[in-house]
């Protein structure tokens, strides 16, 4: 099987000759070490858009400037209800957001206009070309954007701390933004479902300590199910990037129509082991993130953790091991090869579990 075929099979809960190992396209540079990983069957996950977003009635101006060696981008949005702005800093492998849209209560009207002005259009050609070009070495994934409520928290609107304050002080205003985002997402569902993508992620990075069980069930679960219904009509798969603690959300996640749970990070980095997650979500594919803290251990320990995770998982069908978080630059070539050693050793020592 090619790396892509292995991932596609596992994503549908099918049987593979070994547990797939995947890495996001931005996690490692294109180099000899990356080539070695791909030669051994590592599949690169390219996250690509299948739709564009345009705001025809909002004037957007960007200013890029430097302070010493630090690069900043100021983005200004001009609406009939006032101007908004954001400030971000280029961190190389990431970006840091110093200012978000909401700075004072008077900004809500402009933000509502900004969000309502979004127009979406399909953008399938580039995605299809990329998928054909990568062939069996990589798999492409689409996305819907963040869940409506999560967009307010980890999108560009207000950030987590401000969200918590606004939820207590001006909840009606927060919910007005949420309803606009719900309507926006419903326009996106068919665009993703009708795209060339075989699967797509819907949001993620949900923090249960912030959201809580009740609000998760009320403001998150219905949108997973609504998007899943549209995706399933077109034979497509849908998952979510649950990379934080999931214990209190586990029953609600189990009841969703999501096909796979992506980026689930087992203990010791979160509050559930892989065995517990398998028991909590028996009908769902698990596409885990290898625990980030383990990358700092010696290679032999990394290999053993990879092996032990598969031992915990029980049946290996519907299981994928991925890297969805940044790794220490000096460790990734050794750690990733050690993970693959552990996965391969498991296949050698348990041939019956991988037999056709």
Q: Which two tokens stand for residue 176?
A: 């007005």
Per-residue pLDDT, 187: 98
pLDDT in tens, 240-286: 999 999 999 999 999 999 999 999 999 999 999 999 999 999 999 99
What is the Cα gyration radius of the chain? 21
Per-residue pLDDT, 87: 97
Helices (H), strands (E): how many in the chain?
Answer: 15, 14
What is the C-alpha separation between 127 and 131, in angstroms, rounded? 6
Would you say how long the chain is, in residues?
356
Q: Which two tokens stand for residue 43?
A: 């599949």
CB atoms under 10 Å from CB of 61, counted, come to 11
Per-residue pLDDT, 44: 96
Per-residue pLDDT, 79: 98
Q: Per-residue confidence at 200, pLDDT binned at 50, 70, 90?
A: very high
Per-residue pLDDT, 274: 97
- Beta partners for 200? 142, 238
- What is the value of pTM for the model shown? 0.95
Q: What dihedral angle (degrees, nearest 10) is formed by the CA atoms of 286, 287, 293, 296?
A: 130
Per-residue pLDDT, 123: 97
171-193 and 108-116 are packed helices; what angle lies between their axes, rounded to 10 degrees?
10
DSSP H or E run through 320? strand 319-323
Per-residue pLDDT, 214: 98
pLDDT at 77 > cutoff 80: yes
Separation in Å, CA 310 to CA 8, 18, 293: 19, 11, 18
pLDDT in tens, 291-317: 999 999 999 999 999 999 999 998 999
Return all residues near 161 (Cβ < 8 A) that are at least 6 apart: none
Per-residue pLDDT, 355: 83
3-52+118-354: CATH topology is TIM Barrel (3.20.20)
Q: Per-residue confidence at 94, pLDDT binned at 50, 70, 90?
A: confident
Per-residue pLDDT, 312: 93
From the number of C-beta atoms within 10 Å of its C-beta (0-12, 13-18, 19+), residue 231 rates as: buried
Per-residue pLDDT, 91: 84
Token pair 């051994």: residue? 40
């Amino acid at each position: 099987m090619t790396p892509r075929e292995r991932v596609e099979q596992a994503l549908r809960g099918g049987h593979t000759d070994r547990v797939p190992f995947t890495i996001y396209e931005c996690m490692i540079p294109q180099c000899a070490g990356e080539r070695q990983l791909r030669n051994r069957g590592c599949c690169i996950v390219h996250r690509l858009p299948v739709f564009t977003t345009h705001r025809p009635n909002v004037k957007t101006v960007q200013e890029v400037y430097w302070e010493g060696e630090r690069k900043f981008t100021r983005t200004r949005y001009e609406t009939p209800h006032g101007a908004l702005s954001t400030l971000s800093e280029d961190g190389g492998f990431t970006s840091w957001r110093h200012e978000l849209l909401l700075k004072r209560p008077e900004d809500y009207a402009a933000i509502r206009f900004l969000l309502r002005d979004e127009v979406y259009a399909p953008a399938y050609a580039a995605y299809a070309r990329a998928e054909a070009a990568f062939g069996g070495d990589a798999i492409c994934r689409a996305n819907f954007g963040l869940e409506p409520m999560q967009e307010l928290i980890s999108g560009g609107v207000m950030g987590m701390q401000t969200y918590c304050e606004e939820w207590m002080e001006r909840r009606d205003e927060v919910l007005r933004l949420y309803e606009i985002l719900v309507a926006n997402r419903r326009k996106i569902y068919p665009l993703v479902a009708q795209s060339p993508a075989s699967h797509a992620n819907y949001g993620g990075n949900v923090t249960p300590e912030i959201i809580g069980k009740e609000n998760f069930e009320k403001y998150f679960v219905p949108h997973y199910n609504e998007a899943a219904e549209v995706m399933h009509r077109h034979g497509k798969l849908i998952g979510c990037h649950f990379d934080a603690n999931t214990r209190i959300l586990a029953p609600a996640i189990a009841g969703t129509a999501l096909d796979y749970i992506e980026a689930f990070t087992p203990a010791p980095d979160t509050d559930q082991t892989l065995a517990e997650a398998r028991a909590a979500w028996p009908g769902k594919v698990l596409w885990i993130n290898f625990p980030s803290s383990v990358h700092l251990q010696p290679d032999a320990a990394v290999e053993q953790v990879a092996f032990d995770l598969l031992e915990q998982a029980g049946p290996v069908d519907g299981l994928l091991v991925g890297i969805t978080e940044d790794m220490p630059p000096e460790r990734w070539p050794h750690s990733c090869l050690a993970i693959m050693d552990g996965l391969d050793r498991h296949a050698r020592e348990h041939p019956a579990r991988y037999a056709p």
